[in-house]
Each structure stands twice: as C-alpha cells, then as structure tokens.
Amino acid sequence: MVDTDISPATTTTATRRPAVTVRALLSRSALWLVLLVLVLVANVLSHGSFLTANNLMNILAQNSVLGVLAVGQTLIILTAGIDLSLGSITALSAVVILQVQDLGFLPSLAIGLGVGLLAGLVNGLLVSWGRVPAFIATLGMMQVAMGLAYVISQGFSINDNDHVGLLLGHDKLFGTVPSLVVIWALVTVIAWFVTKRMRYGSYIYAVGGNPRTALASGVPVTRTLVFVYAFAGVCAASGAVLYINRNGNAEPSIANITTLSMSMAPVVVGGTSLFGGIGGVWKTIAGVLVLGVLSNIRPPRASTAACAALPSSGCRPTPTTAAPSSANASAVAYPIPPPAPVITATCSSSRAISAISVLPSRPRRRLCGRRGYLAAEPPSTDSTCPITWSASADAR
C-alpha cells in the first residue's frame, strides 16, 4: 500500500518537471528570441541584404564601444550601484593614449588602461571606504575626468598617427573579423568568467542582493566594490582603444557621445535589475545587439527612377555620379528635388493683408480675420475672404 500511494506522486512530479524546464528556458532566452525576430524582420525589409557577413560585422563593430562600457556597467549594477563616469573615463583614456603615442604601441596602451584602472579604483574607494553614495562619487569623477580630458587635449582632436588603436597592428583578423569585435569578445568572456567561475562572482551577486547579509556571511564587501569599479574603469579604457580604432582620433567630446544612457540602456534592456543581484553579462550583450539591430532597421535605397515613379513612398534615392564638367572635374550630381514654388495668396477682405508668400510645406496659418486660412492647398470657398492662388518661383 505504501508503494501504491507514493508512485502516483512520483509520476506526477516527473511529468511536471519538463514544463518547468521549458518555462525557465523561455524566460532565459526570451530576449534572444526577440533579437532573432528583429533580425528576420530587418532581413525582410532589406530584401535579404541584412543577413550578410559584411553587414553583421559592421553592426558588431558599430556597437563595440557601447558593448564594452555596458559590460563594465553590468558588474556595477549587479552590486546595486551605478557609474556615471564611464563615458568621461573613456574620453580621458583616449586622449592620454594618443598624447603619449610616441612612446610606442604597448606603453601607450598600458598608460591608457592604467588611467582607467586608477579612475575606477578612486570610485571604488569612495563608495566602499568613504561611504559616499555611488551616484555622488561617480558624478564627481565624471566632471574631473572630463575636465582633465579638455586640459590635456586643449579642446582639440588628437589624431592616431602611430595606429595604436589596432590589435597587434591589424585592423581585421583573418581578413573578415574586425579587431574591435575581438576586443569586445575578450572583455565579455573575462567578465562572464569572473561572474560565473570565480569566487568574486558569488560575492558580486551577494552584495547586490543584500550587503548586510553578505557582510555577516563573511563576504568582503569592501574589496568586492573596489574590484567591480576598477574593472569598470578598465572596461572604459578598453572602450577608448576601440573608439580610437574605429575613428582614428580622440577628443574630449567622447564623454558626450558615450553618455550614461548608452551604457545603462543595454543593461536594463537585457534584464539586469537596477536593485542588484539579478542579471548577467550575456543578457547585457543581448540588450546591446537588440538596440544595435533596431538602430539599423531601415528600408533600402531605391533608384532615382523608382522614387520618381512613387513620389509618395518616402524612399531615399541612391546618389548618382554625373559626368565631370569643365568647371568642376570632380562634380558629383545628386538627385535633388527642385525648390518648392512660393505660393502667393491675395485676399480681397478689408481686414486682411493684401498679399503674402509662404512655402507650401508650412502648416496652415491664419490670414484673413478669423475665417481665412493660408494652406498648402486652396480652401474650398470662403465668402468672407476669397483667396486667389498663384505659384511663383521667386522666393522671398
């Protein structure tokens, strides 16, 4: 009787386990499924030109700087913190790397990474030892790093003359993979190994879940916070190397380009909790790719003849090159639409202005008292303010 009573419960538990596993699998891979759907939609809209090796590598290279910053931000947010200074540290490191590029490839990179590490250590010490809120500490570092970047560069752009942004002197590895993607992948793998295969990974999740409980359990909360902020500083310096590789220069305005929203948006989209303890590196990578695909979904360029046949389709014609003229041998002709004619409206009402000229693309505006309007098309009838329309190519 005992075996008969237990066997149904055992069977029921065994039949329910696959459903729980499928649910957990869907929960973990939901964002990747969304990414797959977006890629398929983009490929359909681009008529098959989206899913090409060249285009996919371009998207990865385009989002490499954002991806590296987001990886560093992920570890900080997992501890329920925030870092506002990553963009400014990126600008400072980039300016320093190119300022000392005459020293050679490895010394300049080491100095730039050291600058990012030092800035991250200062943030970590202020947050852990100084008990300064992460928002205040990193906000101050943001202003200091941005100011130093402007002082060192004197507000000007610095060119990469010695190609210090290249990975081992190569822009692409194996002829197809950009070195930016390789560096991004290395940083991502290191961050994943730290969070999932090292003791500090458990410490990071414990501190983000409940720092008091973690401290009572013997977790070195101070060292963990210093570690994650220092790691984020190194990620910001790595982003500086990627920016130099992609653009060939460095300028202090990088801090305005790599803003807080850029590094935090992929982390939040990926599902990492702002309250700490929940999330992961690969979820952040999925968030970066989702945002990158969304920013690259656009209709393909059409020919000039197709756009002329469908003027209301909103298509963008492909630039065409004209034969060089004697006046300008390198002249390039683009299909520029003719200027819109100026519509002149004459109102016979005594209360109205006698005549006015506006472009037809302007919104409707009041012309004659309260009942007369000047619009892109003539109004039907208005006995109070009859308007005579005429087109003129003479702009005023």
- pLDDT tens across 64-92, in order? 999 999 999 999 999 999 999 999 999 99
As a whole number of angstroms, the distance between CA 89 and CA 83 comes to 11
263-320 pLDDT per residue, tens = 888 999 998 999 988 989 999 999 999 999 998 887 665 544 555 554 544 455 555 4
How is residue 377 annotated by DSSP? S
Q: Which residues contact 143 (CB under 8 A, 6 or more apart)?
A: 88
Which residues in 260-292 are b (16+ Cβ under 10 Å) and which e? bebbbbbbbbbbbeeebbebbbbbbbbbbbbbb
- Annotate 58-114 with DSSP letters as a single string: HHHHHTHHHHHHHHHHHHHHHTT---S-HHHHHHHHHHHHHHTGGG-HHHHHHHHHH
Amino acid, single-letter form, for residue 130 = G
pLDDT on residue 258: 62
pLDDT on residue 23: 66
Among 186, 161, 160, CA closest to 281? 186
Give me the phi and psi of 253, to 5 degrees please: -70, 0
Q: What is the mean pLDDT of residues 199-205?
A: 92
Give me the phi and psi of 210, to 5 degrees please: -160, 105
Q: Which of 97-106, 131-140, 243-252 has the highest mean pLDDT?
A: 131-140
Q: Could you give the residue ranges of the DSSP H alpha helices within the chain?
A: 2-28, 30-45, 53-62, 64-78, 86-99, 105-128, 134-153, 179-197, 199-209, 211-216, 221-247, 254-257, 260-270, 281-296, 304-309
As a whole number of angstroms, the distance between CA 294 and CA 188 comes to 22
Structural contact between residues 272 and 62, judged by C-beta atoms closer than 8 angstroms:
no
158-159 and 342-347 as β-strands: parallel, antiparallel, unpaired? unpaired
Query: For residues 293 and 24, which has the higher predicted lDDT (pLDDT)?
Result: 293
Amino acid, single-letter form, for residue 378 = P
CA distances from 86 to 39, 71, 93, 127, 142 (A): 29, 11, 10, 15, 7
pLDDT on residue 124: 95
Query: For residues 192 and 331, which has the higher predicted lDDT (pLDDT)?
Result: 192
Length reported for the chain? 396
Does residue 128 register a pLDDT over 90?
yes
221-241 pLDDT per residue, tens = 999 999 999 999 999 999 999
pLDDT on residue 113: 94
